[in-house]
A and B are shown apart, each in its own frame.
Chain A
């Protein structure tokens, strides 16, 4: 049997490799649950940190799902959720203009200042 083998990696099977492929029969007409971003505090005294995202119908369900998805091993003791559409982000295209001005301000760092060794506790 002559089989043409094309290389692909584990977890990366090319499109159209199946003979049994069926056309999409379902309609995507269902209203889908909105996307939420999840932030978690891992223990008292630390900041909430972005953990990931998930879909849920409302805030309560988002918190409950976040509990199931992100805290199965005591990773968190407090959860914040916010609908992803309310997150505003800086644009990566602007990063030069946005962040570079701080690059040449080395005097903002303590290591910029050369002091004699005799100075203690500073």
Chain B
């Protein structure tokens, strides 16, 4: 079969909702796009542990501490599911980790914002995980089998993340004046970065939309962002708080909420590495990796030694 025939057969499978599996033929660009996206997703889970890990030792109660530990542990697990999916596309785990640590690979910019108060833990769970879930639910139906399976597992676990975040803010919203102010402040700081998580506007696109054609993605940035705004604009009423956007308003004609313009200059600055915490996050990852080197080496040496012992016994 010529490349052209293979491509036609490949697109035919996609159009008929047949998943692509690791050993199947796939266009090089499909492999690359998936590898880049899955690895960025994995890195986001791993770096995403940092802003929350920051609060484990300072959680206000044992209950909140246990919840936060469980959530951070989930994120480590999600990173591992996704790394495993990325590896099926032919890149080694070592290379994936290396690309994150060297700054070559990207992760979601949202994790380059600092978590300043306890209320940020609630806002991150509700807004950041809420935004991530919309994307992840869509990705459960993505065309690459290993990615879709990882996402199904992740979605099952992720919903607790958002619920605990909202519940945590709900408690603050019914607390003292100081707690209510803290709650509103966290929402103010996390709202716009959460909207930025969905990426540039559809209208800014000059590229043809290959990801949609290949069903790697099934909804555009703007569609997902609108879903998110509609969802949050209703939920915030229950908190008795407000979103920091004077242009946020129900549009009866569109049956959607209208909202203000995102600060795209800030968006690109953070993507380019100039966000509040970019350097700190990478430094933390590198430190952990370097300081763990002896553990990895020791485990390998121990396994080797035991293997040799078994061999000697058998001989």
Binding site for B on A (CB under 8 A): 1, 3, 5-15, 17-26, 28, 30-33, 35, 52-55, 57-58, 61, 68-69, 72-73, 89, 91-92
Contacts and interface: CB of A to CB of B under 8 A. Distances in A.
6 pairs of A and B residues whose beta carbons are closest in the complex: A7-B205, A20-B273, A58-B303, A57-B299, A13-B106, A57-B303
B24 A92 contact: yes
Interface residues of B, number: 65
A18 B272 contact: yes
Given A30-B297, A54-B80, A58-B306, A73 B40 contact: no
Interface string B183-211: 00000000000000111101011110001
A12 B81 contact: no
Given A3-B265, A11-B44, A24-B98, A30 B202 contact: no
B84 interface: yes
A22 B95 CA distance: 15
B117 interface: no
Given A25-B102, A57-B303, A89-B23, A19 B272 contact: yes
Given A3-B264, A9-B221, A17 B98 contact: no
Given A7-B202, A19-B273, A30-B297, 4 more contacts: A6-B206, A72-B73, A72-B77, A92-B23
Contacts of B238: none
A18 B103 contact: yes
Interface of B: 21, 23-25, 33, 36-37, 40-41, 44, 70, 73-74, 77, 80-81, 84, 87, 92-95, 98-99, 101-104, 106, 108, 135, 149-150, 153, 157, 197-200, 202, 204-207, 211, 217, 221, 224, 264-265, 268, 271-274, 278, 293, 296-297, 299-300, 302-303, 306-307
